[in-house]
Chain A
Amino acid sequence: SQQGEEDPQALSIQEGENATMNCSYKTSINNLQWYRQNSGRGLVHLILIRSNEREKHSGRLRVTLDTSKKSSSLLITASRAADTASYFCATVTGGGNKLTFGTGTQLKVEL
């Protein structure tokens, strides 16, 4: 069954603004990952946060994880038109590396 639900489903912002996407999941996790999918393309791994971590940064990306609330957020600062894409969270549970994806957030950054 689906592990993650993302919110909002769609987000439209102006270039330069920040974009925040949220992901909630149901069971205990080993780690949570964020992926980007440009239209008609494959997924690109953005960042991984382990269950014992609370915050991670990578360039303009900031990810937080709250295991007590079973939720994560992805913040993209100073957004650019090139950030327009769908963003997915995916969780890994147990000792394997099976990814269970969320429903995705479609981000549109307008000039």
Chain B
Amino acid sequence: DTAVSQTPKYLVTQMGNDKSIKCEQNLGHDTMYWYKQDSKKFLKIMFSYNNKELIINETVPNRFSPKSPDKAHLNLHINSLELGDSAVYFCASSQGRSPDSTQYFGPGTRLTVL
């Protein structure tokens, strides 16, 4: 009965490869997010989708492309991976996009680029 799940949990890959991380939520929420947490534990939002529509797109290299096939899923595809992409990526979801909407986070995907 996991609320927000991500796959894979760990991802180790070579520079230049293309990889995807998947996120699914079973909370019935309509808004989903991707965050990146760097090695110093600093968390920064990357993208947000509401009802499959992109509503937040921070200054992220266009090698990163989110895709939301439906409200319950938000995947993150990364092209031409670089060393600096190594981080933990968190998916989150909320019901609505009001300032008070509580965000529920997944367990994270630790990406290591060699």
Interface residues of A (CB under 8 A from B): 2, 30-31, 35, 37, 40-45, 48, 50, 86, 88, 90, 92, 94-101, 103-104
Whether the Cβ atoms of A2 and B42 lie closer than 8 Å is yes
Interface residues of B (CB under 8 A from A): 4, 31, 40-45, 48, 55-56, 90, 92, 94, 96-108
Report if A101-B107 is in contact (Cβ < 8 Å); known contacts: A31-B100, A42-B4, A43-B90: no
Number of A-B contacts (CB under 8 A): 60
CB distance from A98 to the nearest CB of B (A): 6
Q: Which residues of B contact A43 (CB under 8 A)?
A: 43, 90, 92, 105
Q: Which residues of B contact A88 (CB under 8 A)?
A: 43
Whether the Cβ atoms of B102 and A42 lie closer than 8 Å is no
Whether the Cβ atoms of A48 and B108 lie closer than 8 Å is no
Quick one: which of A35, A42, A99 has the most chain B CB within 10 A? A42
Residue of B nearest to A44 (CB): B105
